[in-house]
Chain A
Amino acid sequence: MENIIMGMSLALSPSNLLFALLGTLLGIAFGAMPGLSATMGIAVLIPVSYGMPPATGLILLAGVYVGASYGGSISAILVNTPGTPSAAATGWDGHPMALKGHATEALIESAVASFWGTVVGFIGLLTIAPSLASFSLKFSSQENVCLAIFGLTIIATLSKKNIIKGLIGGVVGLLLGCIGMDPQYGYARFTFGQMSLMTGFPTVPTIIGIYSISQLLSMVVDRDATVNMDSSLNMLNKYKLKLKDLCYYPITYLWCGIVGMIVGIIPAAGGSISSFMGYNEARRLSKTPELFGTGHREGVAGSESANNALIGGTLIPMMTLGIPGNAVSAVLMGALMLHGLTPGNDLFTVKASITYPFIFGILISAMIMVIVGLSCAKYFAKVNKIPQNYLAAGILVLTVLGSFACENSYASVYIMLFCGVLGYFLKRMHIDLSAVVLGYILGPLAERGLTRTFIRTGSVAAGLQSFVTRPICIALLAASLISCAYPLITRHLDAKKAQKGN
């Protein structure tokens, strides 16, 4: 309770409020632009956060995350092009609403549902994360290995369409994680005589490269694929906000929010799945399910509340166990590390003065988001008017700056560019970049744990045996098996269904 009060009071300090506002505004702008995303927004703003006190910097990034999750719905509603993949389901009813002349109501509903969804996720994060973090104290090297294995099996879920390609991505990530000194003895690996590679590929430049530079290259290569919202802005109708609009579908917000949060906790389930599930749940709860897909306000409410509740959900495994369930949480994890914070119990005890303000920053950003969303969503639709050439140049300049600032060296910048090219190439091959990042983050954890286990137990055989005698290890290995089997089973069932349909 002490931490909660302290977190709240720190988050409400004027400077933190200001940066929460700035982060949320930038996040909405990033989310509203198809092609950009919360991941890129956070990656680009990491260097800005670097020069700030950790709590303030992280609040800025929390604002970007919250804002971008909502911002994606603006373009989904107005031009049926989701600004972020997770806003796709919002367009199913949001865009038909806009076509019927109710674009403003759709935007209001989207902002309100996003707010309630974020609140549900925030409550989940505040209540579940500390207890899960204290549970992680029971983890020794064996449990860490099993946890890393479980994290890596997520790749199978991430790459449901082509598991082999997902696994290849994971192996590329593992290989990137091998660069530098080996975690046990300190021997150099794949450094090619470069001193700057001795400490390995630094987290932030690597992740910025994989996500942002690859996306930037896509923007430059497919330069004709930009979206113009000019004509869609005419769809915005005059609508007077009523008090009822602030909580039009309370049950939908709550239930879809819970669903979204749970999906967020399951690593790799992702934003798109949460919003699709939220949409589905809203339809199931609705008294008029037949109206879904025709421009029904409740559809927007379901998908958006689930989509934003995911924020709190994804942060739970990231902050407690160090498993980034999606791209945004992977970048945020990099930002935490940059500010000297390591996921685990320490975040909620020793570093509570940073962690709790960050958590409350999510709530404050949600409040700012709903106010901004209700009053000026249409202005954010205009961000698409920013010429792509300046946008692309600006993003590259900021990513270069960010990578340089992390280590104060050009080596980090070249590493970022290398990772960007690699990421672009893998993207063109339809290899999921989240799989690469998972491999890169979890690989060293697995290797370190495995080597320590073997040393501690005295032999490889005894080490392996120790895995099956520890209850947490058994549970994690079982979860890994389920995680691997799940996409195969669902694919088999889908194929069977399709056969029956024919």
Chain B
Amino acid sequence: MYKKEKLGLLFLLAFFVFFFLVTGTVHKDARMYPYIVCILGIALTSIQMGMTISKERRGETLNGEEAMTKTQSHYLIIALASSILYVFMASILGFFSATFFYVILFSYWHTNTQKKWMYVAVALGMDAVIYITFKILLAIPLPNGLLF
């Protein structure tokens, strides 16, 4: 529990330090405000880290969620990677083709207990609804690609 908390705070500290360093490359007239924000972030994260360490030393229990299990971490990574891949593929193949494949693959990966034709039918249905609502009725520009 404490390990997860400290790792998270370390990441935040690194986040603020990174932006603090990058602020140095900004024009001097636009630098002051981000510097103040980064310093505030670094100070607050350090205070929180200090409080967490002192709590740990006192042997107090930390309120919060349990650390992620290995399976949950895998779920998270796959969900994220598939989302990024979906957006990337949409820019190459086109929104509707990418959506069709993404919906089938993602829903099958998430729960593979339904009948196989259901995945295809839902993906097709989703594409059809989006096409009619957004493209035809609302005339919203949708991403184009090689296919559809």
Contact = CB atoms under 8 A, between A and B. Distances in A.
Given A187-B30, A414-B87, A51 B140 contact: yes
Interface in B95-111: 95, 99, 102-103, 106-108, 110-111
B87 A410 contact: yes
Interface string B102-138: 1100111011001000000010001000100110011
Main secondary structure of the interface of B (DSSP, over half): helix
B53 interface: no
A404 B94 CA distance: 13
A470 to B, nearest CB: 22
Interface string A422-435: 00110011100000
B79 interface: yes
Interface stretch (A94-102, A343-351, A386-394, A481-489): A386-394
26 contacts: A47-B134, A51-B139, A51-B140, A164-B44, A168-B12, A168-B44, A172-B41, A182-B33, A185-B27, A217-B76, A220-B75, A223-B75, A389-B108, A392-B110, A396-B102, A396-B106, A400-B86, A400-B87, A401-B130, A401-B142, A405-B134, A405-B142, A421-B80, A429-B9, A429-B12, A451-B33
The 7 lowest CB-CB distance pairs between A and B, nearest first, are: A51-B138, A389-B110, A182-B30, A389-B107, A187-B27, A187-B30, A171-B41
Contacts, number: 161
Interface string B65-103: 100100010011001100110110011000100010011
A331 interface: no
Contacts of B38: 175
Interface in A160-176: 164-165, 167-168, 171-172, 174-175
B37 A175 contact: yes
Nearest to A396: B83
A447 interface: yes
Interface residues of B, number: 61
B14 interface: no
Interface of A: 47-48, 50-52, 164-165, 167-168, 171-172, 174-175, 178, 182, 184-185, 187-190, 213, 216-217, 220-223, 387-390, 392-394, 396-397, 400-401, 404-405, 408, 410, 413-414, 417, 421, 424-425, 428-430, 443, 447, 450-451
B59 interface: no
